Structure 1
Amino acid sequence: MNERILRVLEFKKIIENLSTHAATTLGKGLVSQLKPATELEQVIELQDETDEVTQIVRLNKAIPLGGITDIRSSIKRSAIGGVLSTEECLDVANTIYGGRQVKLFVDNLDLEEKELPILEGLVEQITPLRELEMEIKNCIDDRGYVMDSASASLRSIRTSIRTFENRIREKLESYTRNNSNLLSDAIITIRNDRYVLPVKQEYRGAIGGIVHDQSSSGQTLFMEPKAIVDLNNQLHGAITKEKQEIDRILRELSQKIAAEEHDLDQNVTILGQIDFIFARAKLGQEMKAARPKMNNHGFIQMKQARHPLIPIDEVVANDVEIGKTYSSIVITGPNTGGKTVTLKMVGLCTLMAQSGLQVPALDGCELAVFNEVFADIGDEQSIEQNLSTFSSHMTNIVDIIKHVDDRSLVLFDELGSGTDPQEGAALAMAILDEVVSRDARVIATTHYPELKAYGYNRSNVVNASVEFNVETLQPTYRLLIGVPGRSNAFEISNRLGLESRIIERAKGLVGVDSKNVETMIASLEKSHLEAERDYEKAHEVLLETEKLREDIAKEWKQLEQKKEELYKKAEEKAEKALTKARKEAERIVSEIRQMKSNVSLKEHEWIEAKKMLEEAQPHLTKKQTKQPDKKAAEQKELQPGDEIKLLTVNQKGEVLEKVSDNEFLVQVGIMKVKVKRHELQFLGKPKQTMDKPVATIKGSNYHVSTELDLRGERYEDALLKLEKYIDDVLLAGYPKASIIHGKGTGALRKGVQEFVKRHPQIKNAQSGGSGEGGSGVTVLEF
């Protein structure tokens, strides 16, 4: 990517904005060097880095990067034998400490079992170097002062310095008390690093000693009395020794820093990289951006994409697609409609995506990786080079045509402008034909009406326009793919008050072909808008139908369950009645047998009577568990959660999502795959595991756990399971139940709590205690 393209598309402004999110000079340095990558693997790696850290930024977790500075020059100077200053040594210690804090921050992150392989891999390369940090901190305080504890010699020297200073002050204070009339002021001061007194000129002989300075008027001499000359000499010698000892300490620290050159340099590089990635994630959050899926096929698809440099509350979002059914878009229409903004938005989002930045569009957007992005935008005429507007455009276009290929994105603004309209239009079509023939991706804007029909004559070119509201005389900035723009000159003139007779005369002067084209465009615009409205209505009806189908299926399932429960209850009641009747019959037969000696009945007749009594009892037909019929199972409608067998690999799995009428997303082992319906065999509904005591309801065993684990479930699926579970618990007669939803972002927990508030059978709901899972669990009382 050449510098001119980055300047024309205002990529430098993105860099400036990104730099404000970097916390260290290391990160800012990497931001300033950012350039779009041109290899798909490298771009995907950059996007992986940004997306991983975005998970942390969205939770408002701030990484501690304070105190980290670029110490690479200090490290190199120490490595070649240089002695670092106290400030440089302190920067090294603070950077080591900052690296340890970053490492600790990442190690303590809890993102609900989400893995951070890239970030964790980076912090693993950070070497703690705690011993070096402590050695520096034990010698130098936070203000950069070498402390007495740095060495025994330094402590001894500074003790002697304080002793000499105290003795000198005592002698000089005796002068200020006893000979104050000889002094200009009763103070002790310093000249040339020696203690002196301000003596009046006329009393110079009375004091005696060495003159080090005098006042500007010459009336005051700064004299060192003879009595303290030796003490001052001793003090000066001690100060010299102090400086020498400090130099020795700093030299030793510098040597220890040099010994860790490799680890320190690696720490600095890693910390800068981490700051750089966090800056990219923060910019994405600020723009409300999404991660783009990258491809090598020149395919671009963005939903509700916005220009990154226009405030969110002002910009109009648009859908853009190119590279699949058509490779070129020609946008026509009047000025100030937003054509150039759309052009720059596509180019700038492409550069951002190839630089590892997320783009301001809805989730699911897709962008291509290009070797080059070419742009001819704006008026770049030069007085010095004697270039007209047309010449400057042609110079750029000639250079573009020399280098364009199938891995290029080409942006033309007002193609062919600046010359005779007929010649310009013809030249624009010829240039487009040449670039399109090389299979490049092209977006061009133009005023020429001749280009409005261009897209209809080329299979891989589509027309587009920017919508204009004639009622308000304002552009809406909405991009209309498939509809060429029209001038709206007559409508605008009429709205502004131009007499109708003049407008009618102007219409009469317009050629028949132009009228037909304008009429066709107006019809296309109307059809396009009607199609959009119909699509929105159809989509709403589809959503309502889906919801109604789900409600009916849910009610039918509940009805089947209720019917099954009533059947079981009736069977149990009948069984009890039969058991009671059987016992009564046995009692009667027993009494009769005791009386048989008094009657003339044979033994075989009693046996026959008993058999007839048993045969008289009604027999209940128990429901038999049928073996699943393979053909019926294949025809059964599958729902998320159903147990299935993937026939192609003969493995059991679970339905995760219905993609279409004939396609499902299933999980088999650790794999998630999309398969056709005929490849699946229905095995049954998911069995509810039971790890708690079994509840008995009116004589039947009703299996339901006292806990429901919703962690890892999708929001909608979780609420459906919760509703079913509460019904089961109420049937089981439990007084309490626990819903495990985890902590996480709080979205699932909030959904659970709102649901239970609305449920009429739940008396109380509260978070679990310290031994019950805390805020990750909601305990219900019925």
Structure 2
Amino acid sequence: MDARTFARLDYPEVLEALARSAATPLGARLARRLRPVGREDVVRRRLQATDEAVTFARRFGPPDFSGVGPVADAVRRAKKGGLLYPDALYRVLSFLRGIRRVRASVRRPDGTEATFPALVRLSDRLEAPAALYEALAGAIASESALKDEASPRLLELRRRLRAIDGEIRETLERLIRDPETRGALQEPVIMFRGGRPVLPVRADAKNRVRGIVHDVSSSGQTLFIEPEAIVALANVRRTVEQEAAAEEERILRALTKEVAQAAVPLLVAEAHAAALDLLFAKAAYALAHGHARPNLGPPGGPVALYDAYHPLLGDRAVKNDLLLEAGVRLLLITGPNTGGKTVTLKTIGLAALMAQSGLFIPAREGSTLPVFDGVFADIGDEQSIAQNLSTFSSHMTQIVAILKRATEKSLVLLDEIGAGTDPAEGVALASAILEALAERGARVVATTHFGELKALAGERPWAVNASMAFDRETLRPTYRLLLGVPGASHALEIARRLGLDEAIVRRAEARIGAEGRQAAAVAAELADRLQALERERRRLAAEREALEAERRRLEAERERERRLLSERLAAADARYRRRLEEAVRKGEAIARELEALHREAIAAGHVPPTVKPHEWIDRVGALRRAAAEAKAAADEAAPKEDRARGGRKPSPPGGRLLPGATVLVRSHGLKGTLLELRPNGEAVVQLGVMKLTLPASDLVPVEGDKPPAPAGGVRVTVERRAPFEVDLRGMTVEEAREALDEVLDRALLEGRDRLVVIHGLGTGALKRGVAEFLRRHPAVKRFRSGEKEEGGSGVTIVEL
């Protein structure tokens, strides 16, 4: 493969487009120098690295290469003993900052080493010498200046300069404000001449401002005078300024020396930064144009390019399937002029060159190419008056060179083989050349107009005919490649449609003969049928692609829902862990408080010292229960008329009718949960999904009642055998959504598949808000209003 072959196949133009995708001049320069290789292991590594860059860019975006520019010139100058000024040192500092940023972005904290090994290996070689980086960062302020803090001496000198400048400015402003001096000035401004501060004094008033004249205006009407009052100060300033300049030079020389000492790591880092930028340029070029990674087949294996096109044609390109089976060594393409034969040759050749350069190719995924040890092309005319070469001679010169170099692993592309000489001799010579290349085992793609060569391809098992389709109605090529059928030049049809005299066309047809016309008609009919089949195949392929895209979309949607549900479950788990930790902390605080009370009780003599805290708590609880039972017995023993005088009284608060207890409603014969005891003798009881307000005297405690429910929050029934319920009545829509979200999380964590939501009837706003929330929740399978026995429209039944 040589520069001439690259030029014939438009490879330099592809590299130029690749260079425009680079982020740095380093990567662009490397892109223009990119060349294909013929070793399969190297090609495989190149494509794998490009694939990593494409995946990385899709997932995270490309690294930020800003500031990463060439530093080799500055390094070489430093090595030779030259002085680097702030602009060159600033470029080195920007380079070091840039490669640090690039390395950090590639070596992400989420395990990129395993997913992007090639990228990580390159980024690891972006070594920024720490000592040099710290020295430059502490000294360089911009492309034109050093920092004041570059050295203590420079800081002191610059402070003195600022102080002197302030004193000079104050003195000059005082002179400008003086009426005597102001009247002598052309205008009241401070100017500079030769680095010295001056005042613009009228020539006719020069004696009114004593000082040194540094300049005169072109008209002679203005003298630029340094007032005598600041001459001494300006002289001091000049001395300090020279000292500061000397200190700056000393610092620059020290920094230059450090750059020279770090020459090797700097140049190594520059080379690897260029390589990394080139990789991401390949990724950007592939993503911008929809190119795909090719599969690599064995030597002599199939060439299968699906929907391949010339990458420089853009939207004008027509995509074709270019297929050579493993045993096929010649693909002979025929068809009309300007029908796309040469573009097809270049497309195949470019795909091979791009793949072997580590580039993705302009074809669909699944395309396969072997690795060629050489790609040779004879395309276009290279006539030379100086060398006395005709078109035929130039073609033969190239073919002779190809025959000397082509092997069984080569790809040979021949455009209009045998043209430019006597047709009979051209056919004979072309046949011999194609057979010689095929016997050598090379893969050959050739174009021709010779009918005899079409017959050759039809007779040889290692050869296949193909043609560029032609629309006989519009007399325009379609640029579609038809495999397996020879094409015609359609010269007579084109001539007739373009207005050539009919008598001339008929005379030409007569010379072709009946047999020739019949063969041409059969070939044309076959081509038409193949075009129709090709259109149908492409339609089906488009439908298949659409279905595949829909399948991928649905899979992505399902994956998104699974991920969302997983995130919600993880968030719910985290919330309950926090609540559990909070409950443990509260429990520990209560335990500490009880221990303190226990110690106080012992200190007050109410409890013997031998009684442990838990025994004391048990005794207190027993006393409270005994007191409650005694009071209940006293109330039961009171005269009936006393009990009836005030109406029905609630069970005593110290009795077993406590909020949270299980009770029997005598008037209904049903069990429920006591929610509230009111001072007016009424009680609120939960019966299934309903809350009822009943006389407390209608309730009978049931043995084995559950402990009182904790106050506050949303009350949820959590017994495993009972329905999982949440009561949202009395809440705003927003409060209900938050409560319902937490309850759904709990239901999922507990493995529930059903939830009863109690929202009541009211205005219906709460029910609508609940329905809207459930409709969007990913854990909800379906929901409905309750049946009559379930609570009717006042509840919603949710399936999870």
Find the counterpart in structure 2 of residue 514 from structure 1: 516
Find the counterpart in structure 2 of residue 285 from structure 1: 287
The question of 1:86 aligning with 2:75 is answered: no
Find the counterpart in structure 2 of residue 147 from structure 1: 147
Find the counterpart in structure 2 of residue 347 from structure 1: 349
Matched residue SS, 1:182: coil
The question of 1:116 aligning with 2:116 is answered: yes
User: Structure 1 residues 325, 173: CA separation in 2 closer, same or farther (over 3 Å shift)?
Assistant: same
CA distance in 2, matches of 1:130, 1:411: 53
The question of 1:55 aligning with 2:52 is answered: no
Find the counterpart in structure 2 of residue 44 from structure 1: 44
1:195-234 matches, cutoff 5 A: 195-205=197-207, 207-234=209-236
CA distance in 1, matches of 2:159, 2:777: 77
CA distance in 2, matches of 1:129, 1:500: 83
User: Structure 1 residues 500, 25: CA separation in 2 closer, same or farther (over 3 Å shift)?
Assistant: closer
Find the counterpart in structure 1 of residue 97 from structure 2: 97
CA distance in 2, matches of 1:539, 1:223: 88
Deviation for aligned residue 1:539? 10
Q: Which residue identity lines up with residue 120 of structure 1 in the other structure?
A: V
Deviation for aligned residue 1:540? 12
Deviation for aligned residue 1:334? 1.1
Deviation for aligned residue 1:759? 11
> Would you say the 8 A contact 2:158–2:244 is kept in 1?
yes
Find the counterpart in structure 2 of residue 734 from structure 1: 753
> Would you say the 8 A contact 1:40–1:296 is kept in 2?
no
1:621-636 matches, cutoff 5 A: none
Q: Which residue identity lines up with residue 309 of structure 1 in the other structure?
A: L
> Would you say the 8 A contact 2:469–2:531 is kept in 1?
no
CA distance in 1, matches of 2:164, 2:534: 93
The question of 1:304 aligning with 2:304 is answered: no
**Which of 479, 482, 485 is the matching residue for 2:481?**
479
> Would you say the 8 A contact 1:40–1:295 is kept in 2?
no
CA distance in 2, matches of 1:194, 1:89: 30
> Would you say the 8 A contact 1:308–1:349 is kept in 2?
no
CA distance in 1, matches of 2:472, 2:519: 18
Q: Which residue identity lines up with residue 265 of structure 2 in the other structure?
A: D
1:611-760 matches, cutoff 5 A: 734-735=753-754
Matched residue SS, 1:196: strand
The question of 1:368 aligning with 2:370 is answered: yes
Deviation for aligned residue 1:230? 2.3
Find the counterpart in structure 1 of residue 67 from structure 2: 67
Residues 564-605 of structure 1: CA distance to partner in whole angstroms, max 9, x if unpaired? xxxxxxxxxxxxxxxxxxxxxxxxxxxxxxxxxxxxxxxxxx
Residues 19-65 of structure 1: CA distance to partner in whole angstroms, max 9, x if unpaired? 11110111112112111112222111111110111112233623111
CA distance in 2, matches of 1:422, 1:213: 92
User: Structure 1 residues 186, 480: CA separation in 2 closer, same or farther (over 3 Å shift)?
Assistant: same
Residues 647-693 of structure 1: CA distance to partner in whole angstroms, max 9, x if unpaired? xxxxxxxxxxxxxxxxxxxxxxxxxxxxxxxxxxxxxxxxxxxxxxx
1:380-529 matches, cutoff 5 A: 380-492=382-494, 506-522=508-524, 524-525=526-527, 528=530
Residues 272-292 of structure 1: CA distance to partner in whole angstroms, max 9, x if unpaired? 111110000111112211111
The runs of 5 or more residues in structure 2 that have no matched partner are 546-719, 722-747, 756-774, 784-797
CA distance in 1, matches of 2:537, 2:211: 104
User: Structure 1 residues 73, 532: CA separation in 2 closer, same or farther (over 3 Å shift)?
Assistant: closer
Deviation for aligned residue 1:403? 2.5
Deviation for aligned residue 1:330? 1.2
Residues 48-100 of structure 1: CA distance to partner in whole angstroms, max 9, x if unpaired? 11011111223362311112111122233334443322222222222222222
CA distance in 2, matches of 1:147, 1:169: 24
> Would you say the 8 A contact 1:330–1:446 is kept in 2?
yes
Find the counterpart in structure 1 of residue 686 from structure 2: none
The question of 1:335 aligning with 2:337 is answered: yes
Deviation for aligned residue 1:247? 1.4
Matched residue SS, 1:213: strand
> Would you say the 8 A contact 1:323–1:441 is kept in 2?
no
> Would you say the 8 A contact 1:64–1:101 is kept in 2?
yes
1:1-16 matches, cutoff 5 A: 1-16=1-16
User: Structure 1 residues 542, 416: CA separation in 2 closer, same or farther (over 3 Å shift)?
Assistant: closer
CA distance in 2, matches of 1:539, 1:288: 18
Deviation for aligned residue 1:142? 4.3
Residues 402-448 of structure 1: CA distance to partner in whole angstroms, max 9, x if unpaired? 33232322111111222232232222222222332322211111112
CA distance in 1, matches of 2:125, 2:320: 43
Find the counterpart in structure 1 of residue 700 from structure 2: none
User: Structure 1 residues 207, 436: CA separation in 2 closer, same or farther (over 3 Å shift)?
Assistant: same
Stretch deviating more after TM superposition (227-236 or 377-386): 377-386
> Would you say the 8 A contact 1:374–1:400 is kept in 2?
yes
Residues 487-506 of structure 1: CA distance to partner in whole angstroms, max 9, x if unpaired? 33455566667787776554
CA distance in 1, matches of 2:288, 2:779: 42
Identity of aligned residues (%): 39
CA distance in 1, matches of 2:329, 2:124: 45
CA distance in 1, matches of 2:515, 2:60: 61
**Which of 776, 781, 799 is the matching residue for 1:762?**
781
CA distance in 1, matches of 2:492, 2:426: 24
CA distance in 2, matches of 1:498, 1:119: 64
CA distance in 1, matches of 2:85, 2:543: 74
Residues 384-405 of structure 1: CA distance to partner in whole angstroms, max 9, x if unpaired? 4443322322232233233323
CA distance in 1, matches of 2:94, 2:539: 62
User: Structure 1 residues 540, 390: CA separation in 2 closer, same or farther (over 3 Å shift)?
Assistant: closer
CA distance in 2, matches of 1:761, 1:174: 83
Q: Which residue identity lines up with residue 68 of structure 1 in the other structure?
A: V
Residues 457-485 of structure 1: CA distance to partner in whole angstroms, max 9, x if unpaired? 32312211111121232222111122111
Q: Which residue identity lines up with residue 231 of structure 2 in the other structure?
A: V
Deviation for aligned residue 1:130? 4.8
Q: Which residue identity lines up with residue 481 of structure 1 in the other structure?
A: L
**Which of 320, 323, 337 is the matching residue for 2:322?**
320
User: Structure 1 residues 540, 364: CA separation in 2 closer, same or farther (over 3 Å shift)?
Assistant: closer
Stretch deviating more after TM superposition (64-73 or 430-439): 430-439
Q: Which residue identity lines up with residue 52 of structure 1 in the other structure?
A: E
Residues 193-222 of structure 1: CA distance to partner in whole angstroms, max 9, x if unpaired? 222233333444554443322111223222
**Which of 241, 245, 269 is the matching residue for 2:247?**
245
Q: Which residue identity lines up with residue 104 of structure 1 in the other structure?
A: A
- In the superposition, the TM-score normalised over structure 2's length comes to 0.65
Stretch deviating more after TM superposition (228-237 or 175-184): 175-184
> Would you say the 8 A contact 2:181–2:208 is kept in 1?
no
CA distance in 1, matches of 2:544, 2:11: 42
CA RMSD after TM alignment: 3.6
Matched residue SS, 2:316: coil
> Would you say the 8 A contact 1:213–1:223 is kept in 2?
yes
The question of 1:261 aligning with 2:263 is answered: yes
Deviation for aligned residue 1:253? 2.5
User: Structure 1 residues 480, 109: CA separation in 2 closer, same or farther (over 3 Å shift)?
Assistant: farther
Matched residue SS, 1:257: helix
Deviation for aligned residue 1:733? 7.2
The question of 1:275 aligning with 2:294 is answered: no
User: Structure 1 residues 232, 529: CA separation in 2 closer, same or farther (over 3 Å shift)?
Assistant: closer
Residues 342-364 of structure 1: CA distance to partner in whole angstroms, max 9, x if unpaired? 01100111111111101011212
CA distance in 2, matches of 1:181, 1:421: 102
Find the counterpart in structure 2 of residue 552 from structure 1: none
